[in-house]
Structure 1
Amino acid sequence: MSDLAKLPVTVITGFLGSGKTTLIRHLMQNPQGKRLAVVVNEFGDVGVDGDILKSCAIPDCPEENIMELANGCICCTVADDFIPTIEALMALTPPPEHILIETSGLALPKPLLKAFDWPDIRSRITVDGVIALADAEAVAAGRFAPNVAAVDAQRAADDSLDHETPLSEVFEDQISCADIILLTKPDLAGAEGVSKAKAVIEAEAPRPLPVVEVAEGVVDPRVILGLEAAAEDDMDARPSHHDGDDDHEHDDFESVVIDLPEVTDPADLVARIEAMATEQNILRVKGYAAVTGKPMRLLVQAVGARVRHQYDRPWGPNEARQGRMVVIAEHHDVNASAIRSALVDQAQAAE
């Protein structure tokens, strides 16, 4: 089968909260006449991103074309989850003309590329391109990339520091695997922050990569779809910290799921999430809440202490008004009882 006959797949990677779901929602609403399908891979047990995307389904990407894998990492469950999901999408009538895969924000993209060498699909699918999203403000602040000079200075003084943090490794692997970088939230970073973020990305990239500024996920689909990169055949150009490893670990990160009673004041919930993120080094919070007296569900998305919330849809007539939050942090920072106290116990004490 020639590459032209293969079904193109675009892998969309990027750190937690970088805007992957927002980008995919934009692509779904602007499909350029193509029938799209979407696979969402989340870290944690609550499928927030898939639920958001299904609410945006349109004829060119109906709800049955949106599939969700909410058990961590696609590439660790190739035979059990990933291959059956791809085959199910390809068996749809009519079949999709392009598949978008949203990886977990904690995923290393290169092992996923290796999954496309699986015998059952390698002759039928090609990786059209790997798109990495990077939060301009976060990158400029150095939160997801190492300060090379500082690390070198510390390395000279203390051999025990001769390693990089898990977060920086994830960031660097995502950049190294990409065909194009989308620099998101440039409005929050400002011109100086955008310039600094571009310099960081240029320093980390193993080869020159195009960097495109994108606000609210709005980008011409022609810029990122149809790259024809055949990334599965171009692995050597995409170095990883984990090259040569037989497997890769996800033990650096942990998620905690908290059931949330109805809240009376969304502003109070936001304030508690902000405080919790700061005090407990929380990376990501996402989920939804029921607000007393409100027929709409409150969707909550937080990156660190930066919290966004909006009413996204009405509660269903037979749906329990039960809130739920997924909280993600590095393993050594996770304290489930402290997280529960911040989100639930403090709220109940205040009422």
Structure 2
Amino acid sequence: MKTPIIVLTGFLGSGKTTLMQYLLHEFPDKKVAVLVNDFGEVPVDAALLSGRGIPDDMLYEVNGGSIFCACLKDNFVLGLKALTECSPDLILVEASGMADPSGIGPMIRNAGLGDACELMCTLCVFDAIKSLKLAQNLATIERQVANAHYILLNKTDLATSGEMEAATAYIRKINSRAVIFPTRKCRFNVDLLKKEMESPFAMMPSLNTSDNRPDAFTVESINGSVDAFLEALNREEDLLRVKGCLTENGRHYYISDTGAEIEKREEAENFTPVVVITMQDKGEAVRQHLADAGFLAA
């Protein structure tokens, strides 16, 4: 029997890792393997999931770009092969926020994995506050929506009615076939995933190339308070995503942007550096702004 694959897509900060954690909770009787694709060199999402009890042999990391880009496609295939050898009941793939999932089905078949696993469906998390604004300049978001079977219109508790209506209209314009779930923290009826899927969508050429990569850099520690650092980040217009841990006065905090703001929660340990992702060719400028403000070493 082929192992079904569920692919999670959505732009940076939309809620994919939250969705991953929810799905893991909703399949308690299944042996679930996870492939995590972080755009940055530091595997922040994998560190989060590893800390929640996933065995090492059931968790595979691919970092430093998109798994659907030619530069990492081989790593993606190797990861799927390694996970199928563990005989899981289900494989969850969390693609990076910049991943264009066009053509993933043929990619699996052409890699010789067609007898071991198959694409069950693609879930796209669409940030009701931020994704529509970013879609005007980032074609990747349109591809994520166009190639989704299910779309989670997320952060409904934070979005205005106008933002919800505009986001829904955009999604319907791009993809009239997908089922849309308005969600808060990616909660929806998971039983629907167990139903037979429609025939695959027509695939488009992938946009994942080295020419459209955003910039990314890591922050191990800062000078000053975490709150002041977050305020400085909020002022950066070219910021796409920030996530990871910082320590202040012996207390550890995980920070992550929600679209409306950058949230902070206390953790028992500092388990991963902060990854800052910006628009293409803007990373050095953002880093310099933070250095000029005294948060980073010049």
Asked if Structure 1 and Structure 2 have the same fold, meaning a TM-score greater than 0.5 normalized by the shorter chain, the answer is: yes
- Per the alignment, residue 218 of structure 1 pairs with 187
Q: Is 1:308 aligned with 2:263?
A: yes
Q: Superposed, which structure 2 residues align to 1:258-337 within 5 Å?
A: 258-275=218-235, 277-278=236-237, 281-294=238-251, 297-302=252-257, 306-315=261-270, 324-332=273-281, 334-336=282-284
| 1:335–1:86 Cα change, 3 Å | closer
> Is 1:88 aligned to 2:74, yes or no?
no
Partner of 2:44: 48
Give the partner amino acid of 2:293.
Q
Q: Residues 201-247 of structure 1: CA distance to partner in whole angstroms, max 9, x if unpaired?
A: 11121x33210011112223213x3244386xx2xx3353x37xxx8
In the other structure, the counterpart of 1:238 is 202
Please give the residue correspondences for 1:132-211 in structure 2 after superposition, counting only pairs within 5 Å: 132-139=124-131, 142-146=132-136, 165=137, 167=138, 169-205=139-175, 207-211=176-180
Q: Distance in 2 between matches of 1:128 and 1:73?
A: 20
Q: Tell me, yes or no, if the aligned pair for 1:129 and 1:230 is still in contact at 8 Å.
A: no
State how far apart, in whole Å, the 2-side matches of 1:260 and 1:342 are.
Answer: 17
Q: Aligned partner of 1:43: which letter?
A: F
Higher relative contact order (CA 8 A, sep 6+): 2
**AA in 1 matched with 2:129:** E
Sort the Cα spacing of 1:19 and 1:260 in 2 relative to 1 into closer, same or farther, 3 A: same
Structure 1 residue 10, shift from structure 2 partner:
0.3
User: What code does the residue aligned with 1:9 have?
Assistant: I
Q: Deviations over 1:36-72 (max 9, x none)?
A: 1111111110111111111222xxx434312111121
Instruction: Give 5+ residue unaligned stretches, structure 2.
Output: none
DSSP-derived class of the 1:257 partner: strand
Match of 1:102 in 2: 94
**Distance in 1 between residues matched to 2:195 and 2:62, nearest whole Å:** 26
Label 1:65 to 1:263 Cα distance change in 2 as closer, same or farther (>3 A). farther
TM-score (norm 1): 0.76
Structure 1 CA distance for aligned equivalents of residues 218 and 286 of structure 2: 8
Deviation at 1:262, TM superposition (A): 4.7
Partner of 2:287: 340
**How far apart, CA to CA, are the structure 2 residues paired with 1:65 and 1:109?**
22
1:272 & 1:216 partners in 2: Cα distance?
26
**In 2, Cα distance between the equivalents of 1:310 and 1:263?**
19
- Give the aligned residue type for 1:101: V
Paired letter, 2:268: R
Distance in structure 2 (CA, Å) of the matches to 1:110 and 1:8: 18
Match of 1:71 in 2: 64
Question: Structure 2: which amino acid aligns with 1:329?
Answer: T
1:19 matched to 2:35? The reply is no
Q: How big is each residue's C-alpha offset from its partner over 1:158-187, in whole Å with a ceiling of 9 and x where there is no partner?
A: xxxxxxx3x1x1111111101111110001
Bigger radius of gyration among the two: 1
Query: Using the alignment, how far apart are the partners of 2:63 and 2:231 within structure 1?
Result: 28
Distance 1:262 1:348 in 2: 5
Q: Do the aligned residues in 1 keep the contact of 2:66 with 2:208 (CA within 8 Å)?
A: no
Q: CA RMSD in A?
A: 2.6
C-alpha separation between the residues in 2 aligned to 1:239 and 1:79? Answer: 17
SS at match of 1:188: coil
Aligned partners of 2:183 and 2:283: how far apart in 1? Answer: 35
The residue that corresponds to 1:160 in the other structure is none
The question of whether the paired residues in 2 share the 8 Å contact of 1:263 and 1:292 is answered with no
Q: Give the match for residue 30 of structure 1.
A: 26
TM-score, normalized by length of structure 2?
0.89
* Equivalent position of 2:197 in the other structure: 229
